Chain A
Amino acid sequence: MVHEVPVSSEYRYGFRDRDVSVYRAPKGLNRDLVIEISKMKGEPDWMTEFRLKALDIFNAKPMPTWGPDLSAIDFNNITYYVKPSERRGRSWDEVPEEIKKTFERLGIPEAEQKFLAGVSAQYESEVVYSSVKKELEEKGVIFLDTDTALKEYPELFREYFATVVPPSDNKFAALNSAVWSGGSFIYVPKGVKVEVPLQAYFRINSENMGQFERTLIIVDEGAFVHYVEGCTAPVYTTDSLHAAVVEVIVKRGARARYTTIQNWSNNVYNLVTKRATTEAYATMEWVDGNLGSKVTMKYPSVIMKGEGGKADILSIAVAGKGQVLDAGAKAHMLAPNCTATIVSKSISKDGGAVNYRGLTMFGKNAKGSKANVKCDTLILDDRSISDTIPYNEIKTDDVVLEHEATVSKVSEEQLFYLMSRGLSEQEATQMIVMGFIEPFAKELPMEYAVELNRLIQFEMEGSIG
């Protein structure tokens, strides 16, 4: 299994194509810039006002006093908006060669192929390629970049935008609300089941550039959608900030799955707010893979407002040298008979720190609800650390909460066993790690599982010998 994944050595060291951006905002953040961004996008007044209000909230809110150290982020040294081309590509043919070349050099042809099948891709701050498969259109599914959605479906957009994550939620949600750009917008009409996963490709390719995409997904009653985003980034020398907001609204009896693999370069602050709400008998599934970054703070959440809601949150986090991954999950059960299943797999190596931070909340109407939390940690060497920080809030009787946490090290016996069959120490370690995250990998679409294998392999290459 380990041997079949092709290795692209280029990827590891990063690369950068000539910058094709047409407009690049000056560094730093103020009201004029926010107004400028909104004007350039031709937004309605309510959005401009929303952005400005969010900016005030951002300025007023202190930095989080808990979690990893964020003091090195210099908000005045970040480019808040970059527009790569004047025109949005309507088909793959129209996507600039320069950009295609960059995607190719990412060395992930499997995922690239999927672009042609009906995917939107985010390149820098703007979506350059966005097309919806014809059959999706026929079913009434809307799949657009968020900016276009605001233009084309203003009422639908306004009805749901910022209803799950208001700007006041946290400092980085406020920042995103002020300067957001790009991201995906999906609306799935009642009863429509989208069989093909909808995919987006994200990438930061501009030094010191913040990426503030905003994703909004509405799955109407009885409908289903699986949205997949993957992220790779080349290596840069100065710090970058990624502060995205993802909102998912899952209506009665509907189901949504949101799959992410992120592999930011080691200088990115990845501070993402992902939250879903479920109505009665609706299911939300987060599948969240986090590799790379300097600091990640990400806790995919589900607020179960309706009876019988279901949340499945499956995540992995891999922290290497100089990295702090503070990841986890939040399940708020606010109605009777809800179910939350949280599985977290954490790996730390080369002195990295990986934490599981999670919240399981049973509200006073949560009678008959159940939550099962399982956190497994694999520590690869003595320099690396891990912590499990579960919070539980229980405001009613008659609920079940199970929590299980394991911490293990790659044992000498396991390594000896695998090596005694001819595998090198690196191959053996990789195999143990791949086995550890297998429950996660098997939930991924095929090409993403292949990609994850490769990313893990890159991660492991540096760590041994």
Chain B
Amino acid sequence: MSQTVHQPVLQIEGLSVAVEGKEIIRGLDLTVRGGEVHAVMGPNGTGKSTLAQALMGHPRYEVTGGRVTLDGEDVLEMSVDERARKGLFLAMQYPSEVSGVSTSDFLRSAINARRGEGNEIPLMEFVRKLDRALKALEMPHDMAGRYLNEGFSGGEKKRNEILQMMLLEPKIAILDEVDSGLDIDALKIVAQGVNEMLSERLGVLVITHYQRLLNYIRPHYVHVMMQGRIVKSGGPELAEELEAKGYDWIKEELGIVDEAVGQEA
């Protein structure tokens, strides 16, 4: 008996992105499929977070060239909320605080926005899902009653991002520096949350500065970003090599003097 599992595909071709007139990403290609974990690594200032923000559609990031499709649909034509409703998710490096809005009310609104009118999640189902996710992330129960990210510690905010991902069940999740500000125990819990979700239905793009997250979320593919492009790709062993040897050998290999954006090779 065969069951059709929808395997999502995010395809990025020749993507170029500018911020305030300055081109940060120039001609980036990457394809992420359901069931795959891709890690985008690289030193600071090479355009990693710009990639994340541009894919989600942040208004300050201007796409100047290329194509992005999710399951064949043009992502760049969609508004931010449409992208989300189509299954794109970004766990942010600096999540916003929204006073007066409880985390659980927000989550329920977000889930219902995704599900559409007339198909709202039944309250009990929501409560069950929320409880399960809170437990998995070892978050205290009262966290859901607190105002969204207000007064949360850095670690709590990151867990809250993963909590949202678990409840929204995206097709493609981008995790932007989700490891920053987390101690090792919290990192393990967050990684555990992500790993639990991994299936053919979910593709993950992990953006990280450090290799240590990849000890817990094992990537299938590792990409190194420099000067706004992917300059090297490989398997998980590439991450280990970077951990052991740093980035300089890649720069030497490719003849790059300054890896930051805007510096020509």
Is the C-beta of A423 less than 8 angstroms from some C-beta in chain B?
Answer: yes
For residue B164, which residues in chain A have a CB less than 8 angstroms away from its CB? 421
As a 0/1 sequence over residues 146 to 177 of chain B, the CB contacts with chain A under 8 angstroms (1 = contact) are 01100000000000000010001000000000
Which residue, A416, A424, A427, has most C-beta atoms of chain B within 10 A? Answer: A416
Interchain CB contact under 8 A, A431 and B96: no
Closest to A417 in B: B96
Contact yes or no, A434 B96, CB < 8 A: no
**Contact A436 B114, beta carbon cutoff 8 Å:** no
One digit per residue, 1 when the CB lies within 8 angstroms of any chain A CB and 0 when it does not, for chain B 80-98 equals 1101110001101011101
How many CB-defined contacts (below 8 Å) exist between A and B? 87
Q: Determine whether the beta carbon of A419 is less than 8 Å from that of B99.
A: no
Q: Would you list which residues of chain A between 406 and 465 have a CB under 8 Å from chain B?
A: 411-414, 416-425, 427-428, 431-432, 434-439
Write the chain A residue with the least CB distance to B80. Answer: A419
B95 proximity list for chain A (CB < 8 A): 417
- Minimum C-beta distance from A429 to chain B (A): 11
Cross-chain contact A419 with B79 (CB below 8 angstroms): yes
Quick check: B113 and A420 within 8 Å, CB to CB? Answer: no
Determine the chain A residues whose CB is within 8 A of the CB of B105 once the complex forms: 1
Q: Is the CB of B106 within 8 A of A419?
A: no
> Does A63 reach chain B (CB closer than 8 Å)?
no
Given A1-B105, A435-B99, A435-B147: A419 and B81 interface contact (C-beta under 8 Å): yes
A101 proximal to B (CB < 8 A): no
Q: Which of B57, B59, B168 contacts A422 (CB 8 A)?
A: B168
State how many residues of chain B have any CB contact under 8 Å with chain A. 35
Question: B100–A438 contact, CB under 8 A?
Answer: yes
Q: B59's closest neighbor in chain A, by CB? A: A412
Interface check B108, CB cutoff 8 A? yes
**Interface size class for chain A?**
20 to 34
Q: Which of B84, B101, B108 contacts A419 (CB 8 A)?
A: B84
Does B58 lie at the interface of the complex (its beta carbon under 8 Å from any beta carbon of A)? yes
Q: Does B180 contact A (CB under 8 A)?
A: no
> Do residues B81 and A438 form an inter-chain contact, with CB atoms below 8 A?
no
The answer to whether B109 touches A413, judged by C-beta atoms less than 8 angstroms apart, is no
Is A70 part of the contact surface with B, judged by Cβ < 8 Å?
no
* Interface flag for A2 (CB, 8 Å): yes
Whether A2 touches B109, Cβ cut-off 8 Å, given contacts A417-B92, A420-B84, A424-B81, is yes
**9 cross-chain CB contacts under 8 A:** A1-B101, A1-B105, A413-B96, A416-B96, A417-B92, A417-B96, A421-B106, A422-B168, A432-B98
A422-B84, A427-B113, A435-B148 known; 18 new pairs, CB 8 Å cut-off, are: A1-B101, A413-B94, A416-B80, A417-B96, A418-B110, A419-B79, A419-B80, A419-B81, A420-B56, A420-B90, A421-B84, A421-B168, A422-B114, A423-B81, A431-B101, A431-B106, A432-B98, A435-B101
Which residues of A are in contact with B by a Cβ distance under 8 Å?
A: 1-3, 411-414, 416-425, 427-428, 431-432, 434-439
